[in-house]
Structure 1
Amino acid sequence: MVLAIWVVVTPFGGARAQEQMAAQAFLQLDGNRLFPVATSKDYTAHQRVERANRLLQEAVANRSPARIGVKELHNLPVVTLDDAVVLTVTRRDTPEGLTVQGQAELWRQHLTTALNRGRLERQPGYVARMVPISLGILGATFLLQRLLWLLWRRYLPSALTQPLVGEPGSQPLRAMDWLLHGVLVILRLGLWVAAILVIAGFFPVTRLLISRLLEALTESVGSPFLPLGGRRYSVLDAFVLVALFLVLVRGVAFLKGLLQIRVLQRTGIEPGSQEAIAFVLQYGLLFLGTLVLLQLWGLDLTSLALFASVLGVGVGLGLQGIAKNLISGLIIMFERPIKVNDFVEVGDLQGTVTRVNLRSTEVVTLDRISIIVPNAEFLESRVVNWSHGSSVARLKIPVGVAYGSDCQVLRQALLEACQDLSDILATPPPQVFFKGFGESSLDFQLLVWINQPRRQYEIRSQLNFRIEAIMRQHNLSIPFPQRDLHLRNERLEVAFPAEVTDALLNRLRQSATDGEN
């Protein structure tokens, strides 16, 4: 927890906090931090502790006793190890209310205690005592993580214990299920990591190895490499910035869902308006939150204005189509020529609008296929919105009967076909119009009104079935195309090729000869 707070707070502390951390270094022995050492007049803090750490490590590895003392050199107290100077105590190392001699004595006591502990931890008896304890910690960790898994399965819904890779026929995991699975994995992994760190802290060699690994990792991720806005940022700074931005995105998405469920749905506003309000709120909060986050991070946004303007021009030229769709999406959301649940027709595409996004609109066709349509098509092409204003629409059913049929009987038959269909509105009433005289039929048109445009093909099919059945009951025939051929001359001359003519003449002569015989 302390490490997480340090990671989050350190980048926001500014350059002053980073300079203060760079001005100090810790004296260490076997991976244990003893006390901080400040930068002196001639040497940095890291240069001062580097030689002292080496001398202490050599002394604790040597089994011969070592003596830590304090003496005065150049009017300053120095801490010695077997008469070798380890550290010089300066005023910068001394806190307020304490003299440099008092600070030197405290350092001597810390070093004496650390050396005695280091020699004790290298004794065979100590190692023999710590090995069973380490094995006990490993066993307890194994039992604890198994107990955690059993409690997880017992007190949480069964859906959370499904395998992450779905088996055939199993239900896919929801987002919350994945989140809780991730929490369980992190808890179990955290138990093992904590156990390994505790066991490594029992032994000087492993503790020193862990300490050096952490120092190398800290130096690699904490060294500045990215100059931006008058400052230099490290990999850790960039990682924390990205993590905070992801938290901002998820938080804004949560607020958007909360607004839609708890507030907008209770106001009675149309779904399209609810989506537009939630969209504006989401991206507005995301934009403001990003600006605040960058300012707290220490970025001077004014220094990035020129770069942002040049980048904006380049992006605008390269992404004209996307920009056009984004602007079209804003116009659709505020003007609302189409809304969610509208039945629309764009070119040869017919379907129901299920979602209006910033760049595109999702339309589900009558075949239950989701089509992603760019928003610019709704503004640049002709769109038929069957649900705009009123959902009442008119269907035209062409009907043709043979010449000689009774037109009044046909009219009554068509109106009779519309009477028992609940999908056809009684007001306005169905109408029958005599369109004209066709080549093969008398052409009529039946007009009916419906209030479910997305079911127009189903209603048209039902009506056609009823018209065909009723016309058969009234003996009204539906003609098919016919052509009459009239010849003006009584004689029809047919020309054949010479070979065919000769063959026919020979055949006729032979037939005549056979008849005489």
Structure 2
Amino acid sequence: MGNGQWGRRAKSIGVEGRFSGKWAWSTRRWVIGLTVAVATILLLGGIPFSVIAQPQLPAEESDVVIDGRVLFQLGRIDTVSAEIRAKVANEALWKVLENAERQAPPSSIRVRTREIDDLVTVRANGRHLLTVTSSDLMSGVLAQDLADEWRLELQAALEQAQKERRPGYQRKMAWISLGVVAISLLAWALLYNGRRWLWRRQTRTGKSLPMLLLPSLLCAQVLVWLAAGVYICELFPIARSTRYKVFQFLEQTFTDPLFDIDGRGYSLVNLFNLVLLTLALWIGVRLLTSTVKSRFLQAAIPDRGLQDAIATLMQVGLMGLGLFLILQARGIDLSTLAILASVLGVGVGFGLQNIANNIVSGWVMLFERSIQVGDFINLGQLVGTVESIGARSTEIRTPDRVSIIVPNAELLENKVINWSHGHPVSQLHLPIGVAYQSDIHQVHAVVMEVAGAHPNVLQYPQPRLRFLGFGESSLDFDVLVWIREPRLQFDLKSDLYYMLEANFRRYDIEIPFPQRDLNIRSSQVDPAVWPQQISKEIPSALPKTETTTSELMPHDLLADVRDYSSLLKSHQRLQEKVLERLVQQMRTTGGLEIQDRRFRLTVYANCFVGSEAVTWLARTQNATREAAVRIGQALVEKGVLHHVTDEHPFKDEYLFYRFYEDEM
């Protein structure tokens, strides 16, 4: 193998690695982002997820808090709101703690209840904290009983807060925090090494892992540190208080009447939570549709275009149903959003009309199926293979392995040459020109010999040489050959031109260059000298006739053809030996997984899957998937293997193939 081939192979492998790396990094970002979003809500809120998600009703109660721990809630009375009552109680509790810290030795905090003017009050170290009112009571509960219950809660919370402010406790919590960090680091390292080992094992063996295994391990890595952060945050009172204040700020943001829906306020946390649920729904739907496509659609429907169409319909339907359920569960009445949606629809329609046009064009292509995944197309100067058809755009992979994103509307509105539509067999035109003194019969024989020698040129329909006419400097011909794989047309043209140039040199067929005849008229030429001048110039102007066409005998032409054919035969024998060794590798241990497989109600014995064979060939032969498909097609053309029903050539799809040696 030459250095150029090794360079091209290394380049193709590098390109594939770069694309797989981009895909892996994109997946990693989504997993980390979703995990951080979930954990941020838990870290800031410290309360159940379902409570955070609920819309905010008008404030009728407010929290009594010590160091970020909610003890109980106070209701509003006629003259004082719940927020003011809770604020007075929280400030009083804070001053009680400050006074206790200043005393040396620290004094114990005492909370007691007192009844004055038929009102039960709660006091701490002689400082008034709160008064139990009728708005705080439930039916059947006495004010004194509720005050005693609150007194016990306050007593325990104040003693705990006083304990947490002592240096000994803080030193102990610092050591515990270091232990938690060490355990988290160890767990993260185990998960990281396990994920890398699974990834290397998958790359080495070629066997795919469960779809959610690697993302789950990555998510677990992030959750380890976030769980450690939540636990450490609970150990220190300052961290808990800061978390509670931040959460209260976010919960009270955007709760003014401008953001009310059905009389309910929606805070920034609620809006963020709604976006998070939508993102989780989108990821779940994508995973579900991809699983259904890989496990069921590929086994039931061989056509990739129809598979993508069904998967897209399923994804859109599940997303719409999921959004409807999420909005209903969050208490949003969709009928109240009808007016807002209509107003926004008009404004967005003008701004997003191009996007809407692309989306509609994508649906038209999916249903019309004029352009499908895997087709080789020409769009203006763009040439490539359709890799995927999305909701807004289509990905086209050029022969240089460059992905180009094209809006769907351009494919629907412009003229597209689809080489693969209907029947992939197509005809190529190779224009050539030869000198005027060339023998056209010899030109025909040379061209037909080249066309018949190339293995990728179909012999039925037969190649032809069309005489176009007399050009300015040459006899113009058009070589017409038929090919089965339109993607190979550029390499095939290059090979044929190389072979034609070599054969033209062998048979002395001249490839002309532009010529012009110059006629000079002059009245000053001496008539006496004119005949001699003409006699000298005529021989040089005539074409050379040292080797005429009659001197090139048919047996000489056949001898050269035999020499060239022997060279081609030796090259073909070398290729056959390489393919024989490859077939032995495919059929031995560590090769393809050959077993009985079921498709619909039919069992096919001793067969393998085309896409799995492509993966194996790409891994073992250091080739791209496109090159692996060409290797498989070469085995089909050599009569080594075939499709179980002989309906398809070798493809990188979920199709069953069988070696002829395994035929029952």
2:441 corresponding residue in structure 1: 408
User: Alignment partner of 1:449: what SS?
Assistant: strand
Match for 2:225 among 172, 179, 188?
A: 188
Task: Specify the code of the residue in structure 2 equivalent to 1:247.
Answer: A
The answer for the alignment partner of 2:234 in structure 1 is: 197
Alignment-mate amino acid for residue 315 of structure 2: Q
Aligned residue in 2 for 1:261: 294
1:276-315 CA deviation, whole Å, 9 max, x = no partner? 2222222232233223322322233223323322322222
Tell me the distance in 2 between the aligned counterparts of 1:102 and 1:437. 115
Does residue 355 of structure 1 match 2:388? yes
Q: Which amino acid aligns with 1:477?
A: E
5+ residue gaps, structure 1, are 162-173, 201-206, 494-517
**Is the 2:52–2:269 Cα contact (8 Å) retained in structure 1?**
no
Post-superposition shift, 1:442?
3.7
The answer to whether the 8 A contact 1:30-1:118 is kept is no
- Percent of aligned pairs with the same amino acid: 36
Secondary structure class of the residue paired with 1:418: helix
Matched position secondary structure for 1:353:
strand
The answer to which of 302-311 and 81-90 deviates more is 81-90
Q: Which residue identity is paired with 1:220?
A: F
Q: Deviations over 1:145-197 (max 9, x none)?
A: 34324433554435889xxxxxxxxxxxx998787556434423532552353
| Partner secondary structure for residue 467 of structure 2 | strand
Conservation of the 8 A alpha-carbon contact between 1:69 and 1:81? yes
For 2:51, which of 1, 6, 9 is the aligned residue?
Answer: 9
Alpha-carbon shift at residue 458 of structure 1 (Å): 1.9
Deviation at 1:347, TM superposition (A): 1.7
CA contact (8 A) 1:141 1:192 kept: no
Contact 2:293 2:311 in 1 (8 A): yes
In structure 1, what is the Cα distance between the partners aligned to 2:71 and 2:475?
108
Change (3 A) 1:111 1:296: closer
- Check the 8 A contact 2:434/2:476 in 1, yes or no: yes
Distance 1:6 1:392, change over 3 A: same
Matched residues in 2 for 1:423 and 1:328: separation? 36
Over aligned residue pairs, what C-alpha RMSD do you find? 3.8
CA distance in 2, matches of 1:469, 1:362: 39
Residues 382-441 of structure 1 deviation map (CA, whole Å, 9 limit, x = unaligned): 221111111111122334444454433332222222222111101001123333344444
Partner of 1:309: 342
For the residues of structure 1 that align with 2:182 and 2:403, how far apart are their CA atoms?
A: 50
Residue 255 of structure 1: how far off its partner (Å): 1.6
Alpha-carbon distance in 2 for matches of 1:210, 1:388? 65
C-alpha distance in 2, partners of 1:67/1:57?
14
Match of residue 284 from structure 1: 317
Note if contact 2:377-2:420 (Cα within 8 Å) is conserved in structure 1.
yes
Q: Name the residue aligned to 2:261.
A: 229
1:151 aligns with 2:194: no
> Higher RCO, 1 or 2 (CA under 8 Å, sep at least 6)?
2
Structure with larger Rg: 1
- Report the alpha carbon displacement of residue 229 of structure 1 after superposing the two structures with TM: 2.8
Q: Supply the distance in 2 between the matched residues of 1:112 and 1:482 (Cα, whole angstroms).
A: 111
Q: Taking structure 1 as reference, are residues 176 and 54 closer, same or farther at Cα in structure 2, changes over 3 Å only?
A: same
2:372 aligns to what? 339
Shift of 1:318: 2.9
Residues 85-120 of structure 1: per-residue CA shift (max 9 Å, x gap) = 6544445544555444444444555556666x3797
Cα pair distance change 1:457/1:104, threshold 3 Å:
closer
Q: For 1:470-489, what aligned pairs fall within 5 Å after superposition? A: 470-486=503-519
TM-score, normalisation: structure 2 = 0.61
Say if 2:393 and 2:405, in contact at 8 Å, map to a contact too. yes
SS in structure 1 opposite 2:315?
A: helix
The C-alpha deviation readout for 1:458-484, integer Å capped at 9, x for no partner, is: 222222233333344444434444444
1:37 and 1:4, CA in 2 relative to 1: closer, same or farther beyond 3 A?
A: closer
SS of the aligned residue for 1:391 comes to: coil
**Does the 8 Å contact 2:191/2:220 carry over to 1?**
no
- 1:393 aligned to 2:422? no
TM-score of the aligned structures, taking structure 1 as reference length: 0.76
1 CA distance for matches of 2:400 and 2:151?
84
SS in 2 for 1:454: helix
> Match of 2:488, as an amino acid?
R
Q: Measured at CA, do residues 74 and 160 of structure 1 come closer, stay the same or move farther in structure 2, by a change above 3 Å?
A: farther
Q: Distance in 1 between matches of 2:512 and 2:157?
A: 111
Indicate if the aligned counterparts of 1:30 and 1:57 stay in contact, CA closer than 8 A: no
Is contact 2:377–2:419 with CA below 8 Å preserved after alignment?
Answer: yes
Name 1:218's counterpart in structure 2: 247
Show the counterpart of 2:479: 446
How do 1:411-430 residues align onto structure 2 when only pairs under 5 Å count? 411-430=444-463
Helix, strand or coil at the partner of 1:477: coil
Give the one of 341, 347, 357 matched to 1:324. Answer: 357
Q: CA deviation at 1:121?
A: 3.8
1:338-373 CA-to-partner distances (Å, cap 9, x unmatched) read 112211112222222222222222222233333222
Match for 1:8: what amino acid?
S
Q: 1:47 to 1:426 in 2, by over 3 A?
A: same
Give the deviation of 1:335 after TM superposition.
0.8
> How far apart are the structure 2 equivalents of 1:455 and 1:94?
84
**C-alpha spacing 1:120/1:153, structure 2 compared with 1 (3 Å):** closer
- What is the CA–CA distance in structure 1 between the aligned matches of 2:247 and 2:150, rounded to whole Å? 26
| 1:137 aligned onto 2:176 | yes
